[in-house]
Amino acid sequence: MRGYFDSTVRIVCDSPVNEDAEENMNFEVSLNGHDWTQTNITYSYYREPEMHSYFPDSGQANGGTSIYILGKNFPRINNPREFNAKFTPQSEKMASKVMPVVWLNDTTLSVTTPGGWSQGDKMDFQITFNGQDYDQNQFTFTFYNIAQVKPRSGPSDGLGGDIVITG
């Protein structure tokens, strides 16, 4: 595959098509077409994963909710630098937060939501299997923040009136 010079520390090339998703290919570079590097670096392929649904679709702003993503062809990857989920607020101007994804089987993934959000907000969340290319499924997760509950007590017969939750 032909690459191109991007900078003094980077060459860029497209990955070649490979029908065998299970095969790892050696990755070497030549600047003159004759002399090749000997890096022992490999490039691996995986079948294109499909994500169909997820649950739950909301959780507390302090994080810790496990989200399960359902689909097929999920590759078994254990590297959190490459296999993670990015949570990006839709309305707040805050930086995205990245969390590692856990492979459960070839049809189910899991990710724990990050905490530290100052308030509730809807988030776009996306999965990457290579640390660079995120899916385009437009999944949304809503973080809610319970700030106050009034009253904080009532009679045991349930006739104490409404409980008002704000956040």
DSSP per-residue codes, 83-123: SEEEEEESSS----EEEEEEEEETTEEEEEPP---SS-EEE
Reported confidence tier of residue 41, pLDDT bands at 50, 70, 90: confident
- pLDDT tens digits, residue range 79-128? 778 899 999 999 878 899 999 999 999 999 999 999 988 777 899 999 99
Nearest residue to 167 via CA among 113, 121, 115, 128: 121
What are the residue ranges spanned by the domains of the chain? 3-44, 50-144
pLDDT at position 33 over 80: yes
Task: Specify the pLDDT at position 63.
Answer: 92
What percent of the chain is predicted at pLDDT more than 70? Answer: 98
pLDDT at position 22 over 70: no
Task: Specify the pLDDT at position 150.
Answer: 87
CATH architecture entry for 50-144: Sandwich (2.60)
- pLDDT tens digits, residue range 47-71? 889 999 999 999 998 999 999 999 9
Task: Specify the pLDDT at position 21.
Answer: 67
What percent of the chain is predicted at pLDDT more than 90? Answer: 41
Cβ neighbors of 152 (< 8 A, separation 6 or more) are none
Task: Specify the pLDDT at position 104.
Answer: 95
What is this structure's pTM?
0.75
